[in-house]
Amino acid sequence: MSLDAFESEIKTEFLIEAKDLLSSVEQCFLDLEKNPECNKVLNNIFRLAHNLKGSSGAVGFAELADFTHKLESLLLALKEGRIAVTKDIVDLLLRSNDYLVATIDCLQKDMTATYFNAELSDLLCNAMTGTLNTESSSLPGPTDIEVRVLPTESKARETFAVPGSVEIPLSLIETSTPVQNKVKDENIRVSLVRIEQLLNNVGELSILQAVMVQQSFERDTVISSLMRETLSSMSKIVKDTQSLSMGLRMLPIKQTFQKMQRIVRDTSQTLGKDVELQLVGEETEIDKTVLEQLSDPLVHIIRNAVDHGLEDSGARMNLGKPGTGCIRLSAFHRAGHVVIEVNDDGKGLDAAKLIQKAKDKGILSSDALISNEQAYQLIFAPGFSTKEVVTDVSGRGVGMDVVKTNIKALQGQIEIETELGKGTCFRILLPLTLAIVDSVVVRSGSERYVIPLAQISEFFRPQPSEINFIYGRPELLTLREEHLAIFHLPTLLGRDSATSAAEKEASLLTALIVTDGRTTKYAVMVDQVLSQQQVVIKPLGNEVKGHCGLMGSAILGDGKPALILDLFEITKKARGSDKQKKKTEINKRETA
Amino acid sequence: MSHEESKKPARARQADTSERYLTFLLGKEQYAIPLLQVKEVIEMSEPTPIPQTPSYFKGVINLRGQVISVLDLRSKLQLTKIENGPKTAIIILDLEPALCLGVIVDRINSVLAFHSEDVSMAPDTLALKGQFLTGVARRDNRMTLILDIRAALSLHDLQVVQTNTQSQVA
């Protein structure tokens, strides 16, 4: 079956919207569990379910509409107090929510997919009749007709069976809630592509603006005072516009944080621990791309905190701590970074134990002497776990390794602060945005290249005595008693610059020390470091994307593009031979 | 289809038998490409070279904040090289799917509409070149070579090269 373009467009729109709705619904369910009496929360859920039902029917997802209808009936019963909000009910609601999310994911991939969970919808019906228990799930559920009949049937009961909490007459709730509570939506959904176009243009505008201002200060430029004034007020507006438009990519971290509430609830239930999650700084804004990739590592850290960090209630009581464990998840901005902290008041990390474990597992050699701080870092080592038993929740020793890799991919850092018996704090530092990188601009021959600062540990102009020649070619650089291989950028790029010997003499030859912080360390020679600055990454066209170590390009102050180089990638081939050697070395170390 | 045409009123107004082309010079010959493939024409600006690319791949330029690759059409078609002059221009192509490229040409001439009766098939003698010529248009005793720009730039090859390098990286 092929869908008409228009129809598929509205369906796509609907699915995006539905996903948003569902994530807010989940939060409401969790709130509901905490205070089942709160009518406001129920009204909220009801409204969201109602919206979902209405629009899914309207765009032609009949199964979805049918399911949400059943969900809505149950919610109505809850709202009217005919059914008490119990843990089982909340579980069922959460499961329905998961099912809806799965359905929508499925539909996003294939609009014609049919996805129907009869068992869950039977459970919903059963819940309506108040027979929700483990046996009922296997019984054939009542048919649709019964569900639709129920509300009218129970109305009579309603008038006298209401438990004190609902004071308002039923008729009033029914008629007023869906209509009056409708909040006016003042947001517009804009595609990221359009925002990026806007950012491009604004960036260009500010460059042009800078050129113009510079021109106006040239000695022989004659310019009227009005013009000068206009120019200066324009500068302000351009600057303002730029910071505003940069802000468009930013989203509050709220949604990601709220997901964690569910993780904590599920994990603590599986483990039988009492855990409370506190959220601080949900409104902190963070770049959309960073946000999307943050969720996975956070899930790992939080599950870890619940499983390893917190003791169970009994042990806590014995230690004189409150029985309910507490995890605080907070976000804030600090010095150009977004900081996200996961604090638990559990048992903390035991350095001595970590070291012992690492030695047992052969991650650390048996005679190694390391500081406590280094010991804490061991938990990020692949295959490391202090847990004796592998469970569903954790213990495989994979999680924290993945966390570190993910955070690194986001150009972030992760720190650990811990006190034995008091708790642990994982602190993630992330750049405000991935669109900007700290970098150095270097000159090689007549060309300029941009190199991310993250790849180099230092740069300096070596003395002639520090460069050792092999067969008349500079090959080794002596740096603090260490000998590093030298690579020349023009050679690496396959452009042996035709600069004359005289020019070479006078050049400001600089060595960039490239290191990935572990085993590899070498020097790349460039003719000069021009500046150290932040650049906005501009993607290259598909025709050159991924070409020999290009990470993208950046537009420099004079409006010309320069290429951003990935030095690891570029030197890969040249390092090939000695890399092999290193690999065997590492292997030896690992087996040892 | 009717719905697509309503989106492009400029094209719909044209008679079915003619299409508009942007004509330009490469050396002494006049070439043409369909106007619908052209996003804009800009003055020549010196591109930033990209290492380890073919010689006709001139580099990247900054087009109002967008970084665009620029190819030299003359050297791609192995025509005699003419030094860049004040008339040298870059045609920014807007090709499907989402491919934005610049090509350097010697001079931009004009926009012309060729009726189908003006256009003949490329002669067999041009067989070798014919693979990227879709036809030859004649008007006022002047011959215009109509280019299949995708074929002329061997975009297919470019993309193959790209996927190869990517798979090597991965």
Query: ipTM value of the model?
Result: 0.73
- Across A33-47, A202-216, A344-358, the highest mean pLDDT is recorded for A344-358
**Residue (of A410, A455, A437) closest to A536 by Cα position:** A437
The rounded distance, in Å, linking the Cα atoms of A544 and A550 is 8
pLDDT at A30 over 50: yes
CATH number of B17-163: 2.40.50.180
pLDDT of residue A1: 45
Instruction: Write the single-letter amino acid at A418.
Output: T
pLDDT of residue A166: 35
Q: Which domain holds residue A460?
A: 436-591
Which residues in chain A have their CB less than 8 angstroms from residue B165's CB? 546-548
Q: Do residue B50 and residue A494 have CB atoms under 8 angstroms apart?
A: no
pLDDT of residue A137: 39
Query: Does residue A450 or residue A189 have the better pLDDT?
Result: A450
- What are the φ and ψ backbone dihedral angles of A256, each rounded to 5 degrees? -65, -40
Which residues in chain B have their CB less than 8 angstroms from residue A447's CB? 48-49
pLDDT of residue B38: 92
What residues pair up with B23 in beta bridges, in sequence order? B32, B110
Q: Do residue B61 and residue A201 have CB atoms under 8 angstroms apart?
A: no
What's the first-to-final CA gap in chain B, in angstroms?
41
Chain A, chain B: beta-carbon pairs less than 8 Å apart: 85
The rounded distance, in Å, linking the Cα atoms of A209 and A234 is 8
Query: Does residue A518 or residue B5 have the better pLDDT?
Result: A518
Same domain, A171 and A227: no
- Across A5-14, A23-32, A108-117, B22-31, the highest mean pLDDT is recorded for B22-31
Q: Do residue A546 and residue B169 have CB atoms under 8 angstroms apart?
A: yes
Determine the residue of chain A that is closest to B46 in CA distance: A560
Same domain, A451 and A565: yes
Which residues in chain A have their CB less than 8 angstroms from residue B67's CB? 538-541, 552-553, 555, 561
Same domain, A533 and A579: yes
pLDDT at B90 over 90: yes
Same domain, A57 and A166: yes
> Using an 8 Å Cβ cutoff, are A11 and A59 in contact?
yes
The rounded distance, in Å, linking the Cα atoms of A70 and A100 is 12
Q: What CATH number should be reported for the domain holding residue A277?
A: 3.30.565.10
Same domain, A67 and A83: yes
- Across A360-374, A397-411, A471-485, B95-109, the highest mean pLDDT is recorded for B95-109
Instruction: Write the single-letter amino acid at A70.
Output: K
Domain count within chain A:
4
The rounded distance, in Å, linking the Cα atoms of A356 and A374 is 13
Instruction: State whether residue A60 is helix, strand or coil.
Output: coil
> Using an 8 Å Cβ cutoff, are A39 and A165 in contact?
yes
Strands (E) located in A453-517: 456-460, 467-470, 473-479, 482-488, 510-515
pLDDT of residue A148: 32
pLDDT at B92 over 90: yes
Q: What is the arithmetic mean of pLDDT over B41-56?
A: 87
pLDDT at A503 over 90: no
Radius of gyration (C-alpha) of chain B in whole angstroms: 17
Q: Do residue A494 and residue B52 have CB atoms under 8 angstroms apart?
A: yes
Which residues in chain B have their CB less than 8 angstroms from residue A210's CB? none
- How confident is residue A402, by pLDDT bands cut at 50, 70 and 90? confident
Q: Do residue B50 and residue A543 have CB atoms under 8 angstroms apart?
A: no
pLDDT of residue A492: 82
Which of these three, A209, A230, A249, is where a domain ends? A249
**Residue (of A513, A510, A504) closest to A529 by Cα position:** A510
Q: Angle CA(B67)–CA(B71)–CA(B76) in degrees, nearest 5?
A: 165
β-strands B29-34, B142-147 pairing: parallel
Which of these three, A431, A455, A483, is where a domain ends? A431
Same domain, A48 and A73: yes
pLDDT of residue A289: 80
The rounded distance, in Å, linking the Cα atoms of A218 and A203 is 23
- How confident is residue A531, by pLDDT bands cut at 50, 70 and 90? confident
> Using an 8 Å Cβ cutoff, are A407 and A428 in contact?
yes
- How confident is residue B12, by pLDDT bands cut at 50, 70 and 90? very low
Which residues in chain B have their CB less than 8 angstroms from residue A569's CB? 169
Same domain, A166 and A199: no
Same domain, A119 and A267: no
pLDDT at A115 over 70: no
Q: Angle CA(A295)–CA(A297)–CA(A303) in degrees, nearest 5?
A: 100
Least confident of A233-247, A394-408, A521-535, B77-91: A394-408
Tell me if A186 is assigned to some domain. Answer: no
Instruction: State whether residue A116 is helix, strand or coil.
Output: coil
Tell me if A202 is assigned to some domain. Answer: yes
User: H or E stretch including A437?
Assistant: strand A436-444
Which residues in chain B have their CB less than 8 angstroms from residue A541's CB? 67-69, 99-101
Same domain, A400 and A267: yes
The rounded distance, in Å, linking the Cα atoms of A561 and A548 is 18
Task: Check whether the bond before B54 is cis (ω within 30° of 0).
Answer: no
Same domain, A475 and A577: yes
pLDDT of residue A156: 37
Torsion angle of the four alpha carbons A577, A580, A581, A582, in this order, in degrees rounded to the nearest 10: 120
pLDDT at A567 over 80: yes
The rounded distance, in Å, linking the Cα atoms of A525 and A484 is 12
Positive or negative torsion for Cα A530, A531, A537, A538? negative
pLDDT of residue A76: 77
- Which residues, in sequence order, are CB contacts of A24 under 8 Å at separation 6+? A48
Q: What is the arithmetic mean of pLDDT over A255-275?
A: 84
pLDDT of residue B13: 44
Task: List the B119-120 sheet strands across, edge first.
Answer: B107-115, B18-26, B29-34, B142-147, B133-139, B119-120
Q: Do residue B60 and residue A495 have CB atoms under 8 angstroms apart?
A: no
Total residue length of chain B: 170
pTM: 0.54
What are the boundaries of each domain within chain B? Answer: 17-163
Tell me if A519 is assigned to some domain. Answer: yes
Helices marked H in B8-154 — which ranges?
9-13, 73-76, 127-130, 149-152
Same domain, A60 and A161: yes
Instruction: Write the single-letter amino acid at A142.
Output: P
- Cross-chain CB nearest to B165 (options A447, A494, A546): A546
pLDDT of residue A497: 54
**Residue (of A357, A271, A341, A266) closest to A311 by Cα position:** A271
Which residues in chain B have their CB less than 8 angstroms from residue A560's CB? 46, 48, 62
Least confident of A431-440, B1-10, B36-45: B1-10
What residues pair up with A67 in beta bridges, in sequence order? none
pLDDT at A470 over 80: no
pLDDT of residue A133: 47
Q: What CATH number should be reported for the domain holding residue A100?
A: 1.20.120.160
pLDDT at A94 over 50: yes
The rounded distance, in Å, linking the Cα atoms of A287 and A431 is 9
pLDDT at B41 over 90: yes
Tell me if A185 is assigned to some domain. Answer: no
Task: List the A473-479 sheet strands across, edge first.
Answer: A456-460, A510-515, A521-526, A482-488, A473-479, A467-470
Q: What is the arithmetic mean of pLDDT over A303-320?
A: 82
Which of these three, A387, A404, A431, is where a domain ends? A431
Query: Does residue B155 or residue A236 have the better pLDDT?
Result: A236
The rounded distance, in Å, linking the Cα atoms of A153 and A150 is 5
User: H or E stretch including B169?
Assistant: helix B155-169
β-strands B119-120, B107-115 pairing: unpaired
Q: What is the arithmetic mean of pLDDT over A457-473?
A: 76
Tell me if A187 is assigned to some domain. Answer: no
Tell me if A87 is assigned to some domain. Answer: yes
pLDDT in tens, A117-136: 667 777 777 776 655 544 33
DSSP A309: I
Task: Check whether the bond before B97 is cis (ω within 30° of 0).
Answer: yes
Radius of gyration (C-alpha) of chain A in whole angstroms: 31
Q: Do residue A541 and residue B53 have CB atoms under 8 angstroms apart?
A: no
Q: How many Å lie between the alpha carbon of B116 and the closest alpha carbon of chain A? A: 32
Q: Do residue B69 and residue A546 have CB atoms under 8 angstroms apart?
A: no
pLDDT in tens, B108-163: 998 988 887 778 876 666 555 557 888 888 887 888 888 888 888 876 556 544 44
